[in-house]
Structure 1
Amino acid sequence: MERTELQWLEHLIACHDKEKPDLERLDKYYEGTQPLSYMAPELQRELEETVRQVVINWPRLVVDAIEERLDVEGFRLAGHAEADEELWRIWQANDLDEQSQQGHLDALTMKRAYVVVGSNEADETTPLVSVESALDMYAEHDPRTRKIAAAVKRWCEGEGKDEVQHATLYLPNVTIWWVKQDGAWVEDPDFPRDEHNMGEVPVEVLANRPRLKYRNGISELADVIPLSDAGCKIATDMMVSAEYHATPRRVAFGFGEEDFVDEHGNKLSAFSRIIGRMWATARSKQEGADVVQFPEADLKNFHATIGQLAQLVASLTGMPPHFLGQSTANPASADAIRSSEARLVKRAERKQRAWGGTWERVMRLVLRVRDGEWSDDARSLETIWRDASTPTVAQAADAAVKKHQAKIVPLRQTREDLGYSQAQIARMEEEDERAAQQVMQRLAAGDVTPLFGSKPDGPPEPAEDEVPPEAASGNAA
């Protein structure tokens, strides 16, 4: 059934509202503000004023370890050895160095992020590109083509009674702005609809680990959250036990509830009685009053449990053990460290392959918005990523130079392999061109030094205090 524009808007908003609680839960786990799990409510109420939750933020560590290896360096058109300068200019003009990093971060955490392309009235040669959070946007895929059929973005202005809800509906041939008035959505009169007639929705999805059945992706935290909850619970229990360890358990004989009061005569809670450093009573030992102290508790069982949970996190996520504090007395060798990072590097390279396709589609939309027609050259667009591995500088340089000397790769690719940015490579090529022109000028002037090198120097002059044997013989004669 074909939906009207208003039906599309209401349908997408309903789907987004249904999913937002789960997205907000994932966001809290990344920020380390999730509620404490596994602790009994009665104990939590009893300890509320004394003990706070101890958060071991493994979710943020897992996400950041992958995101730190995802840096876009440029875009290369088919048949071109170097990156396209115009596409990189548009990328830089939209601050996508920063926005792409934020989009990757949100996608790893909350399953996906969105990229929106639109026209720029201030500069028609530089289309607008923005990266949006899944908390603000939702898109639905066409089950036949698997392309985006429609998308919505929502935001609010003002607070309380002055709050105004806005929405933007993205369809294949038109973009419409809406505002909510008297509980109903109407087109915003301040923003006329954009009849772009592209035949495609100007929105792309940065989906994390999408599957055939789950096009919107899966959070990177799905496997980590249960272990994180357990780790936070054990760490919080350890802090509670530390209170008992600092003030060991005592048993009081011959006392009643009326004996445990503060200086104002108010009755103390059970935990306040436990942590009291000193007790005083008018009763004597002959009257049956006595206090017995138990030995302190050992906290090593908590340490071992947290260590075991950290090992499980490392095995599920491909994290090197030293990322989670699992190390031995002897430091690992460089080869051992690189070997331990192999799974993490491969996971990052998988993200680069999937999200490289997304950024390529974004740049095709950019060219379509700028030129008014689809570019055939952009069909084979390639995203250039920074190397996701962490080789040493010496090893990377040695391997790159040997490949270049063996004429396996050209000089520009060698510089890319060494991690230089496109701007740095461009400056190097300018210097190479300037040096080549200077050589040609010297050859034109008859100076063959650049071809054959400088004339070798003659034998060194003897020092003044050194007399050659022949001269010495002549003097003697």
Structure 2
Amino acid sequence: MAALARPERGSAEWWLAELWQRLKARERGVEQLREYYSGNHPLPMVPEKARAAFQRLLRQSRSNYVGLVVDSTAERIQVDGFRLGDDEVGDEEAWRIWQANRMDAAADLLIAEAVKVGRAFALVAPNPRDPATPIVTAEDATQAIVAYEPGGLFERAAGLKAWTDEWTGDYMSTVYLPDGLYKFRAAKPTAGKPRWERRSVDGEPWPAPNPLGVVPLVEIQNHPDLLGEPHSEIEDVLDVQDRINKTLIDRLMAQEFAAFRQRLLIGYEVPTDDNGQPIEPFQSAVDRLWIVEDENVKVHEFQATDLSPYLKAVEADVQHIAARTRTPAQYLLGQLSNVNGETLKATESGLVAKVRQRCRPLGEGLEDVVRLYLQAAGDDRDLEKIEVIWHNPEFRTEGELVDALVKMSTLGVPLRALWERWGASQTEIRQWEALQAQAAERVMAGDMAALYGPKPGSGDAVAE
């Protein structure tokens, strides 16, 4: 099929060219952040002639602190359910579809990806096999991109998913517009831009219909600015990570070549072999003694290099990362002992505050996903007031938490809300509510054991 002609502005072909260019421009930055997160940092600079000889030391010099920053943030952002409108309880249908798509696990990947590189994506599609359970998939930041209406930060104008076919090596893409899904393919070029052609699917018209009437590709953003550009949690501390690695390679070089005392003999005639080559006169070891018969020979000693300045420099840079990312310093340095609960809570207050703030923009994207799949499932309720139920990011001991919940109950806080604060999942809460209802029915029927337990010595008592 012939290549596409010059596209008209706003057409599917125009969006394909526009979004493909933006996606490729963004790709290198995303890959760089991923490499830093995984510990694959650029090797510290050393003289080019010495690089080959010191490859082992260079690899050992990379210590991954930025990965800890991402993990310590992402592990505290957990979705527990979704609430519609002013309902006290989490919505059962929203959670059912969420779990049917294994999003309770995939959401952790989405959130970690957004924290790591600034954004992640989710795609919603009707399910022809089960219309009541739409399909939701997590999408990679290097394969998906969304464009928004001019002057807006939330209304999606178009979306693109692009990937490489594993069997043919061709580029595949789908443009998502409110009026349809436009599919393309292109042979992978050796140079220049790909030449896109329409991609047909058996039994499907071109373009494919979009029953949702909106762009079904949703961007999950971490820490966006007023221009709508999200940000990674580590993008502004990469230079500090490089500085740490440089200090570490200097320390390793000092350990390798200057951490042992060197000795110098003055006035000593070095023996040679039959070929005139010098012979090492002494073998240094704990159980060996150096003997020099010439009384005119003088022995001197060079002090070993002090490594403590290197260690202090690394610690200072780690403190900079901790302060900038609001990551508790003990997470990065591993130094914590004899600390009471109040002090520990104070050290984590910055991280907890940051996580609560990050949940708001992340929640907007997740709420759009839930809104889309409930709409695709034919839900006719008002879906404008969807709210994410987040797991409490603050760590407390069980005693502290129970004490706080008991005090809250005296203020009239509903029992289900207390269970949420405890950290129970929506499934657990429903199980507890069912057990509570069963116990109430038994009490109403006169079975007081359901309220107070079996009487001592009765036949219902459990033998120890």
Please give the range of the TM-score, normalised by the shorter of the 2 chains: 0.7 to 0.9
Q: Secondary structure at the match of 1:442?
A: coil
- 1:240 maps to 2:245: no
Q: Name the structure 1 match of 2:410.
A: 405
- 1:366 maps to 2:379: no
Superposed counterparts of 1:107-186, under 5 Å = 107-146=114-153, 147-158=155-166, 162-181=168-187, 183-186=194-197
1:247–1:277 contact (8 Å) kept in structure 2:
no
Q: Secondary structure at the match of 1:113?
A: strand
The 3 A distance-change label for structure 1 pair 451 and 319 is closer
Structure 1 residue 421: deviation in Å? 0.9
Structure 1 residue 46: deviation in Å? 4.0
Letter in 1 for 2:235: A
Letter in 1 for 2:429: I
Q: Name the structure 1 match of 2:460.
A: none
- 1:430 maps to 2:438: no
Structure 1 residue 83: deviation in Å? 1.0
- Unaligned runs of 5+ residues in structure 1 are 260-264, 266-272, 279-283, 458-477
- Report the structure, 1 or 2, having the larger helix content: 1
Letter in 1 for 2:171: Q
**Residue number among 377, 385, 389 corresponding to 2:394 in the alignment:** 389
Letter in 1 for 2:12: E
Structure 1 residue 450: deviation in Å? 8.4
Farther-moved stretch of structure 1 (85-94 vs 356-365): 356-365
1:40-90 CA distance string (max 9 Å, x none): 434324423665342211111001101011110111111322111111010
Structure 1 residue 254: deviation in Å? 11
TM-score by length of 1: 0.81
- 1:28 maps to 2:35: yes
- 1:200 maps to 2:234: no
The 3 A distance-change label for structure 1 pair 296 and 202 is same
- 1:319 maps to 2:327: yes
Structure 1 residue 39: deviation in Å? 3.4
The 3 A distance-change label for structure 1 pair 438 and 222 is same
Structure 1 residue 327: deviation in Å? 3.3
1:138–1:153 contact (8 Å) kept in structure 2:
yes
Farther-moved stretch of structure 1 (129-138 vs 31-40): 31-40
Superposed counterparts of 1:197-276, under 5 Å = 198-213=212-227, 215-245=228-258, 247-249=260-262
1:58–1:224 contact (8 Å) kept in structure 2:
no
The 3 A distance-change label for structure 1 pair 51 and 211 is closer
Q: Name the structure 1 match of 2:314.
A: 306
1:210–1:216 contact (8 Å) kept in structure 2:
yes
Q: Secondary structure at the match of 2:338?
A: coil
The 3 A distance-change label for structure 1 pair 16 and 253 is farther
Farther-moved stretch of structure 1 (316-325 vs 303-312): 316-325
Q: Distance in 2 between matches of 1:384 and 1:365?
A: 18
Q: Distance in 2 between matches of 1:437 and 1:122?
A: 40
The 3 A distance-change label for structure 1 pair 295 and 5 is same
1:62–1:317 contact (8 Å) kept in structure 2:
yes
Q: Secondary structure at the match of 1:327?
A: coil
- The percentage of aligned residue pairs carrying the same residue is 28
Aligned residues: 423
1:39–1:233 contact (8 Å) kept in structure 2:
no
Ranges of 4+ aligned residues in structure 1 off by more than 6 Å: 250-255, 289-292, 448-457
Q: Name the structure 2 match of 1:269.
A: none
1:113–1:133 contact (8 Å) kept in structure 2:
yes
**Residue number among 201, 226, 230 corresponding to 1:190 in the alignment:** 201
Structure 1 residue 293: deviation in Å? 5.3
Q: Distance in 1 between matches of 2:222 and 2:451?
A: 55
Q: Distance in 1 between matches of 2:260 and 2:408?
A: 66
Q: Secondary structure at the match of 2:164?
A: strand
- Unaligned runs of 5+ residues in structure 2 are 1-7, 189-193, 286-291, 458-464
Letter in 2 for 1:388: P
Q: Name the structure 1 match of 2:4.
A: none
**Residue number among 83, 92, 95 corresponding to 2:90 in the alignment:** 83
Q: Distance in 2 between matches of 1:60 and 1:43?
A: 29
Q: Which has the larger radius of gyration?
A: 1
Structure 1 residue 323: deviation in Å? 1.0
1:417-454 CA distance string (max 9 Å, x none): 111111111111111111111111117xxxx8989999
Letter in 1 for 2:223: R
Q: Distance in 2 between matches of 1:353 and 1:85?
A: 22
Q: Distance in 1 between matches of 2:89 and 2:51?
A: 61
Q: Distance in 2 between matches of 1:252 and 1:26?
A: 52
The 3 A distance-change label for structure 1 pair 47 and 427 is same
Q: Name the structure 1 match of 2:3.
A: none
Q: Secondary structure at the match of 2:446?
A: helix
1:372-417 CA distance string (max 9 Å, x none): x8x452111111111010111111111112211332x111111111
1:112–1:216 contact (8 Å) kept in structure 2:
no
2:169–2:187 contact (8 Å) kept in structure 1:
no
The 3 A distance-change label for structure 1 pair 277 and 125 is farther
The 3 A distance-change label for structure 1 pair 197 and 93 is closer
1:217-269 CA distance string (max 9 Å, x none): 111112221111111111122111111145555679999xxx9xxxxx9xxxx
- 1:336 maps to 2:343: yes
The 3 A distance-change label for structure 1 pair 341 and 168 is same
- 1:47 maps to 2:54: yes
Q: Name the structure 2 match of 1:465.
A: none
Q: Name the structure 2 match of 1:102.
A: 109
Q: Distance in 1 between matches of 2:392 and 2:346?
A: 16
Q: Cα RMSD between the aligned structures?
A: 3.3
Letter in 2 for 1:188: R
Q: Secondary structure at the match of 2:399?
A: helix
Q: Distance in 2 between matches of 1:362 and 1:451?
A: 42
